[in-house]
């Protein structure tokens, strides 16, 4: 499946403001970026670096006035996300070094406090993928998904008490529950085709059966349509923009994901 | 100043138990490891790797029975920790890429919730080092240091509500306050000469004036005697041992730090 | 200055053939990638990773038959490359850790054999940038630039004996001479606007005065127009394609670099 | 098997001289460092970093006068090095990302020039481990091992022409031959118990059957007793000391490797 994604952000800047953006998706085993556009208006120097999780980040200083960030990508992804019911729990000793860190508690995923609860939710399930399926179903049944109620990030503990949340919140609680069972889990932020209302999206991945698998408690069942932008322990690591100084919100934010018929698109060279 | 440090841990293992240890200090600009010993009894295969923060970690599976970890080091450190009253706040745009991550909130340091409080505490102070001094003094005056009351890790929010804590707790609150002012701050775990009662210790470092400086709210004033073992965003990252499976506590834990007269020590070659 | 670059390679594959490509330029301090296209025909799974030098590399298995790689980018670069006559030699002790490796000899740059020659060429010059200028002028005057005579890579020693070479060869000899003076030097492969005949290009960078500066012995004087794709110790590290198995050459290779008027280009969204 | 290794180097320094040392062995799957000593006399600031191959490196400025580096380690290693006759060639597509770089030619291993020769030497052998065995036997039979004839590093091409070499030279030719067959190969520098005359040693490892295996053409057959200090593409990467400025040789260099009865050694704590 080919998707065209775009994210356009506009800010009204009053004082020179440092930004760290995370808006450049990477090609990987599960997605191929065939076209990518990234425009900053007005044009300012941008320094790109790779963070400790492997994400591409862009640093810049936004000057006073209207400031626009415009990104787009044409991406090939699998028609359906890989699933592996029954995939086994990976014993700690067999986890790759780089995966171990995803067992630790993090800002919004206090996995050190969910051990009892996760054990109850997954009672009777085979260790591994099936435990995560049980957790995801529990989230769907228990935590009311409220896509419009955007707000400040809250932690898994708060989400659990509150009983409702945006995609990010459900992912946080899912991650905390998985880690408490020694299943490595990480946050993914990106695009999701067909999301209503359209917005940036968050879901989570777990490491079972020797690789990462995607889970999304906001959907009735996992399907295709995910384009990952960033990976991290939780939302603290994968903000698509981190801005420093006085609080500042986009005056406009347009996200779009559409399916395209890639081979037929007009090559730019032909324009 | 030369110190000899040692850490001896003994566990009673009932089922084969995966451990990730962080017990090998690194030589760096601020400390030189002239001798190091690291023994595991019984001897089992150990795999060492470097984590995302640059710490040396050791993975192993502890077999059932008595299991002992014994480490020691002879370390040269500065007589007095560097201090730099007045050292300037580093603007975000000038921070090295690798330092940016220490601005983010983390498991035990919810810096996203301390902005107002940090501003109040540091009112009137020059931006940078002097703000951190004010925070440290505030911690000393406000949060009762209770070295004997060891317990599970709690977050900066909880420490602030509770009003008392161990070294780790004071560091967490200090870190959260600094980051809320856009001052990069990180946790350090290690040894501290003269600590009473002797134990592993935790303090924090902040990035101001172009480098990292140490702060320790548990002491009346910063002096020498610190040997760092690990660095991270908070205690979640720098556990000297992470053990997986059923909860397990050391049946003995002996920490020792003594000053030595290095040039006069008996060379092993002469034994 | 805005440039549109493209590289189209076609191979006739007889047996499934592993490729490692290096055809995705990175945004950096000196260039900003505003649009990028990367197409593989037929479509096959591609795995991207970052190599030890920070380059983005793409792994894939080309299936038998016609196999085409098509990349393009729209890039903002400085109108004129930075120059810094007189910029000082950086003492070894002040070099960043990551720069030290560019002092070592490498496959095609046997800097361990050029100490005497480099000293002679740079006699009387101020240590640093001006030495490299002298080396570049010496290369221009001494090694005949033969852009059409493409052939297998040869080393700095061979280039020096032979007295002629393609851009890569001149860069290799320049790098070897610089390193022999303890000036870190690295190879860059990329595009160069106005190159005749148009082709991929290679030049070199040296670390003096606290940063990297570009040099190009194939041109009468350094100007703008460079778009970097990859960095490494020498050509062994920065092949735009490494292919394994029986020798295989592209049946067509089209490189193009044109200046564009970026703000006026037709946004894709308007198509 | 437990070994105690030591390396003592003394220099007579005339002008302040930058050094990069690589004298701290790492614990890994194949060796465990139970004790390590590292002394610099006179004491100077040392900065340690990890290079792109994962080696621990120490930077310092040696002051004028007598300058001594003294290191020792007590290491547990396997009694016999792992061997795996018949272990399969790993197809390029299955090589880990980090292993790919060891297929490239390097300063002293011009693998791009040995394809024909390697094919001849390994004719009829099963792809993988057995090819490397054939190469190692060919080296033993063809290149005269001359441990006393120490000299400047020469390349695989030169070693092949010359017909004799030190351990480093045999390793370089072995590595070049392996890489020309698309078998990843790397240089190892370290200690070897029982080496006559005792000195630092060099051998090579190849990646077949899903892991690295050791080969040593200087010995009639591979056995135990190897302690690795550093890994790299070739000798350019793994110098135990790199010194910058006027040429400088140690006025004394003492290497020692002895077998020890570890559990019975006198614990330092008992002194």
Rounded to the nearest integer, the mean pLDDT of chain A is 93
- How many Cβ atoms from other residues are within 10 Å of residue B259's Cβ? 12
d(CA B206, CA B186): 6
Q: Which residues of A touch C40 (CB under 8 A)?
A: 32
Q: Could D52 and C49 be called an inter-chain contact, meaning their C-beta atoms sit closer than 8 Å?
A: no
- Quote the pLDDT of residue B19: 96
**Where is average pLDDT lowest: A192-201, B69-78, C123-132, C255-264?**
C255-264
CB atoms within 10 A of CB B152: 6
From C98, C130, C115, C123, select the one nearest C233 (Cα to Cα).
C98
CB contact under 8 A, D35 and B38: yes
Of D20, D59, D106, the CB nearest to C236: D106
From C92, C104, C152, residue closest to D237, measured CB to CB: C104
Pick B27's closest partner by Cβ from D43, D46, D266.
D46
Nearest to B236 among A20, A57, A106 (CB): A106
Chains D and A touch (3+ CB pairs under 8 A): no
What is the pLDDT, as a whole number, of residue A14?
Answer: 94
State mean pLDDT over A30-46: 90
pLDDT of residue B269: 44
What distance in Å separates residue A247's CA from the closest CA in chain C?
A: 27
pLDDT of B60 = 94
Mutation target vs A (from C31, C268, C270, C271; most A CBs, 10 A cutoff): C268
Residue with tokens 């080969």: D215
Nearest CA-CA distance, residue D5 and chain B, Å: 11
Q: Is there a contact between D269 and B6 if contact means CB atoms under 8 Å apart?
A: yes
Element (H, E) at C74: strand C65-77
| Residues C117-173 pLDDT 10s | 999 999 999 999 999 999 999 999 999 999 877 678 899 999 999 999 999 999 999
Q: D180-235, pLDDT tens digit by residue?
A: 999 999 999 999 999 999 999 999 999 999 999 999 999 998 889 999 999 999 99
* pTM (two decimals): 0.91
Chains in contact with A, counting 3 or more C-beta pairs less than 8 Å apart as contact: B, C
Q: What is the mean pLDDT of residues C102-129?
A: 97
Touching pair B, A by Cβ (3+ pairs < 8 Å): yes
Of A6, A32, A35, the CB nearest to C36: A35
Q: Mapping DSSP to helix (H, G, I), strand (E, B) and coil, where does residue A256 land? A: strand
C-alpha neighbours within 13 Å on the C-beta side of residue C238: 28
Chunked in runs of 10, what are the mean pLDDT values of chain D (271 residues)?
95 95 87 93 89 93 96 92 96 94 96 96 98 98 88 92 96 98 97 94 97 96 92 96 87 95 56 38
pLDDT at position B170 is: 97
Residue-wise pLDDT for A111-151, tens only, equals 999 999 999 999 999 999 999 999 999 999 999 999 877 67
Return the number of other C-beta atoms located less than 10 Å from residue A269's C-beta: 12
At A219-254, the pLDDT tens digits run 998 889 999 999 999 999 999 999 888 888 899 999
Locate D208 and state its tokens: 């077949």
For residue C104, the chain D residues in CB contact (below 8 A) are: 107, 236-237, 242
* Residue B66 backbone class (left: φ over 0; alpha: ψ -120 to 50; beta: rest): beta
Residue B265: burial class (beta carbons within 10 Å; 0-12, 13-18, 19+): middle
Distance of CA A117 to the CA centre of its chain: 24
CA distance C22 to chain D (A): 13
Instruction: Give D233 to chain B, closest Cα distance, Å.
Output: 20
B and C touching (3 or more beta-carbon pairs closer than 8 Å): no
DSSP designation for D89: P
Which one of D44, D54, D107 makes the best mutation probe of the C interface by having the most chain C beta carbons within 10 Å? D107
pLDDT, average across residues A25-49: 89
How far is residue C214 from each of residues C200, C224, C231, measured CA to CA in Å? 16, 10, 12
- Splitting chain B (271 residues) into consecutive groups of 10 residues, what average pLDDT does each group show? 95 95 87 93 89 93 96 92 96 94 96 96 98 98 88 92 96 98 97 94 97 96 92 96 87 95 55 38
Q: Would the pLDDT of C20 be above 90?
A: yes
For the record, the structure tokens of C36 come out as 């990028």
Q: What is the DSSP string of B67-134?
A: EEEEEEEEEEE-SS----TTPBPPPGGGS-HHHHGGGS-BTTB-GGG-HHHHHHHTTTPPTBHHHHHH
Look over chain C and give the mean of its residue pLDDT values, rounded to a whole number.
93
- Quote the minimal CA–CA distance from C7 to chain A in Å: 12
Q: Hey, is B197 helix, strand or coil?
A: coil
Tell me the per-residue pLDDT of C23-69, one tens digit each, with 9 for 90 and over.
999 887 678 999 999 999 998 888 889 999 999 999 999 999 999 99
ipTM: 0.90
B92 closest CB neighbour out of A18, A101, A107: A18
In the prediction, which pLDDT does C265 show? 54
- Inter-chain contact D48–B37, Cβ cutoff 8 Å? no
**How high is the pLDDT of residue D270?**
39
Among residues B194, B262, B197, B255, the alpha carbon closest in space to that of B226 is found at B194
pLDDT higher than 60, residue A269: no
Any idea how long chain B is? Answer: 271
Distance from CA of C38 to the nearest CA of A (A): 5
pLDDT, greater one: B29 or A106? A106
CB-based contact B152 A112, cutoff 8 Å: yes
Which residues of chain C lie closer than 8 angstroms to A43, CB-CB? 32, 76
Helix runs in chain C, H state only: 97-100, 115-121, 129-142, 156-162, 167-180
Task: Tell if the CB–CB gap between D244 and C182 is shorter than 8 Å.
Answer: yes
CB contact under 8 A, B29 and D39: no
**pLDDT (0 to 100) of residue B23:** 96
Among A106, A153, A244, the residue with its CB nearest the CB of B107 is A106
**Contacting residues of A for B91, CB less than 8 Å apart:** 18
Cα A198 to Cα A170, A190, A219: the distances in Å are 17, 12, 14
Instruction: Dump pLDDT digits (tens) for C179-213.
Output: 999 999 999 999 999 999 999 999 999 999 999 99
Q: Are strands C164-165 and C144-145 parallel, antiparallel or unpaired?
A: parallel
Chain A residue closest in CA terms to B152: A112
């Amino acid at each position: 499946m080919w998707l065209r994604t775009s994210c356009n952000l506009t800010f009204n800047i009053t004082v020179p403001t440092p930004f760290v953006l995370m808006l450049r998706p990477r090609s990987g085993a599960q997605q191929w970026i065939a076209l990518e556009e990234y425009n900053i208006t007005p044009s300012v120097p941008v320094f790109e670096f790779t963070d400790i999780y492997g994400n591409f980040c862009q640093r810049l200083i936004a000057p006073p006035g209207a400031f626009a960030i415009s990104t787009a990508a044409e991406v090939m992804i699998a028609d359906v996300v890989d699933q592996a019911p029954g995939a086994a729990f990976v014993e700690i000793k067999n986890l790759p070094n780089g995966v171990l860190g995803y067992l630790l508690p993090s800002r919004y995923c206090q996995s050190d406090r969910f051990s009892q609860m996760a054990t109850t939710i997954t009672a009777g399930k085979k260790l591994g993928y099936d435990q995560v399926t049980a957790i995801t179903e529990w989230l769907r049944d228990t935590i009311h998904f409220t896509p419009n109620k955007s707000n400040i990030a809250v932690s898994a503990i708060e989400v659990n008490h509150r009983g409702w949340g945006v995609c990010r919140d459900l992912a946080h609680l899912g991650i905390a529950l998985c880690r408490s069972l020694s299943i490595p889990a990480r946050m993914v932020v990106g695009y999701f085709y067909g999301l209503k209302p359209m917005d940036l999206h968050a879901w989570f991945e777990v490491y079972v059966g020797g690789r990462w698998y995607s889970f999304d408690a906001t959907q009735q069942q996992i399907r295709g349509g995910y384009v990952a932008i960033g990976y991290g322990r939780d939302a603290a690591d994968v903000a698509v923009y981190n801005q420093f100084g006085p609080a500042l919100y986009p005056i406009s934010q347009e996200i779009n994901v559409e399916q395209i018929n890639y081979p037929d698109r007009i090559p730019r060279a032909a324009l």
